[in-house]
């Protein structure tokens, strides 16, 4: 057991030494070295320290805390009234992947959710937004945002205002403590530095919040957008999320394209969301029938398409498009994915455009087996 973990780290994080020692022995805290970062990665939470936390060991110790999990409400009324005070701030929830950007060893570095330094994101983020002035003035803050767009290696979604790749900021948090800025301060500071905030729908009185949020989410859904995150304006209470029916169906379509590569909880949770949404909206028989129809199609069509595809002796795969300067960058990103346990290879590279093929192995193997008569 390195003495740093037994002696200094408990003080830095304000966590019991025995908890940290246990996590280290269980492999839930691991040494991490990549992209010039040397540190400790938290694979699971330890006390109040979130999973995804990175303790970077450079000239000085810099702690990039994990991004906190956002709980979901299934019933806006009464959840919001119980959970929040007099007012809520409502922001658009963007559908991409979570990125924390911080200055580590004086270098702008991008971490993905689990506390990995993603080479692609670290390279792309500074090309998309100029954070130099911000970090010069606020070296102890972490920019938390969503990388979105179609040339997105983790979660692709088309946004007309974004196109291939874009970044939207939703939180500014302090290194070490993870203390978030209030919504108003964040909006102002981002404006000041010309940095892109997620869409802010304003501060809404709690009494009208469920009704107003439904209007918003229904509109967002019609535009194929994911939903909202509802926040305490002071950021002293944890935020909640609420999503559109279109988002639930979109995720079901994707997951049922590769049904054996997702846990069952993934499917169940999306169906449950539909049930409560229909109930809270007091939908008519016709509206419920339409919802049922769409839900059924989201499940059955993609699944049958994949079964047919695999039956012709094909692998279940998806192609990820990224733009890089040279082949080696694409190779490096594919290696990064393989380190995360993903089956991925560079399929082609031409004029800066790399296609990375991600194979969904369990879906391929299990469907092939059933097609040959294997029993379920
Ligand atoms: P978790 O619930 O643990 O955060 P998840 O993968 O299930 O993880 P989502 O259902 O996508 O996540 O919801 C939470 C995520 O939404 C955040 O981690 C963040 O990346 C993203 N997000 C998008 N827009 C916002 C926003 N305006 N405010 C906060 N988070 C946002
Ligand atoms: Mg998401």
The reported pLDDT for the residue numbered 284 is 98
Would the CB of 198 count as within 6 Å of ligand 1? Answer: yes
The reported pLDDT for the residue numbered 6 is 87
Domain 246-311 top-level CATH class = mainly alpha
For residue range 292-341, list pLDDT tens digits in order. Answer: 999 999 999 999 999 999 999 999 999 999 999 999 999 999 999 999 99
Pick the CATH number of 3-64 from 3.20.20.10, 3.10.450.740, 3.40.50.10800, 3.40.640.10: 3.10.450.740
Ligand nearest to the CA of 45: 1
State in Å: Cα 42 to ligand 1 middle.
19
Would the CB of 146 count as within 6 Å of ligand 1? Answer: yes
Would the CB of 94 count as within 6 Å of ligand 1? Answer: yes
Peptide bond into 78 cis (omega under 30): yes
State in Å: Cα 98 to ligand 1 middle.
7
- How many percent of the chain have pLDDT more than 70? 100
Would the CB of 69 count as within 6 Å of ligand 1? Answer: yes
User: What band does 3 get if pLDDT is binned at 50, 70 and 90?
Assistant: confident
Ligand nearest to the CA of 69: 1
State in Å: Cα 269 to ligand 2 middle.
14
Q: Is the pLDDT of residue 1 over 90?
A: no
State in Å: Cα 238 to ligand 1 middle.
12
**Is the CATH number of domain 71-243 3.30.470.30?**
yes
The reported pLDDT for the residue numbered 274 is 98
State in Å: Cα 98 to ligand 2 middle.
7
In SS3 terms, the chain reads as CCHHHHHHHHHHHCCCHHHHHHHHHHCCEEEEEECCEEEEEECCCECCECCCCEEEECCCEEEECCCCCCEECCCHHHHHHHHCCCEEEEEEECCCEEEEEEEECCEEEEEECCCCECHHHHHHHHHHCCCHHHHHHCCCEEEEEEEECCCCCCCCCCCCCCCCCEEEEEEEEECCCCCECCHHHHHHHHHHCCCCECCEEEEEEHHHHHHHHHHHHHHHHHCCCCEEEEECCCCCCCCEEEECHHHHHHHHHHHHHCHHHCCHHHHHHHHHHHHHHHHHCCCCHHHHHHHHHHHHHHHHHHHHHHHHHHHCCCCCEEEEEEECCCHHHHHHHHHHHHHCCCEEEEEEEECCEEEEEEECHHHHHHHHHHHCCCCC
pTM above 0.85, yes or no: yes
Would the CB of 167 count as within 6 Å of ligand 1? Answer: no
Q: Is the pLDDT of residue 106 over 90?
A: yes
User: What band does 2 get if pLDDT is binned at 50, 70 and 90?
Assistant: confident
For residue range 200-237, list pLDDT tens digits in order. Answer: 999 999 999 999 999 999 999 999 999 999 999 999 99
Residue 5's φ and ψ, nearest 5 degrees, are -75, -35
Average pLDDT for 34-63: 95
Pocket test for ligand 1, best of 44, 96, 171, 241 (most atoms within 8 A of CB): 241
For residue range 117-141, list pLDDT tens digits in order. Answer: 999 999 999 999 999 999 999 999 9
Domain boundaries, the chain: 3-64, 71-243, 246-311, 317-359
Average pLDDT for 350-363: 97
């Amino acid at each position: 057991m390195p003495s740093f973990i037994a002696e200094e780290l408990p003080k830095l994080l304000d966590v019991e030494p025995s908890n940290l020692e246990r996590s280290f022995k269980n492999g839930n805290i691991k040494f991490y070295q990549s992209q010039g970062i040397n540190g400790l990665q938290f694979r699971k939470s330890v006390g109040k320290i979130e999973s995804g936390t990175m303790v970077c060991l450079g000239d000085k110790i810099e702690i990039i805390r994990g991004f906190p999990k956002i709980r979901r409400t299934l019933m806006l009324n009464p959840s919001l009234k119980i959970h929040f005070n007099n007012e809520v701030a409502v922001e658009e929830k963007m559908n991409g992947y979570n990125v924390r950007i911080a200055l580590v060893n004086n270098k702008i570095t991008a971490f993905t959710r689990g506390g990995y330094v993603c080479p692609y994101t670290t390279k792309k983020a500074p090309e998309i937004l100029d954070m130099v002035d911000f970090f010069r003035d606020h070296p102890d803050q972490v920019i938390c945002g969503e990388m979105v767009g179609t040339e997105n290696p983790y979660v692709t979604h088309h946004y007309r205002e974004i196109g291939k790749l874009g970044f939207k900021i939703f939180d500014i948090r302090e290194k070490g403590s993870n203390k978030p800025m209030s919504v108003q301060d964040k909006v102002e500071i981002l404006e000041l530095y010309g940095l892109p905030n997620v869409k802010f729908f304003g501060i809404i009185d709690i009494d009208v919040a469920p009704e107003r949020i439904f209007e918003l989410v229904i509109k967002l859904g019609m535009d194929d957008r994911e939903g909202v995150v509802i926040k305490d304006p002071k950021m002293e209470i944890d935020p909640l999320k609420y999503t559109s029916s279109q988002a639930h169906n979109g995720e079901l379509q994707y997951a049922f394209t590769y049904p054996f590569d997702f846990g069952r909880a993934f499917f169940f949770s999306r169906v449950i969301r539909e049930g409560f949404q229909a109930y809270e909206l007091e939908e008519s028989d016709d509206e419920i029938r339409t919802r049922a129809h769409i839900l059924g199609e989201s499940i059955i069509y993609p699944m049958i398409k994949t079964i047919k595809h695999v039956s012709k002796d094909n692998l279940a795969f998806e192609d990820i498009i990224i733009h890089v300067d040279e082949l080696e960058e694409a190779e490096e990103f594919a290696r990064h994915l393989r380190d995360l346990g993903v089956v991925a290879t560079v399929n082609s590279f031409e004029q800066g455009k790399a296609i990375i093929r991600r194979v969904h192995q369990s879906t391929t193997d299990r469907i092939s087996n059933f097609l040959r008569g294997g029993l379920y």
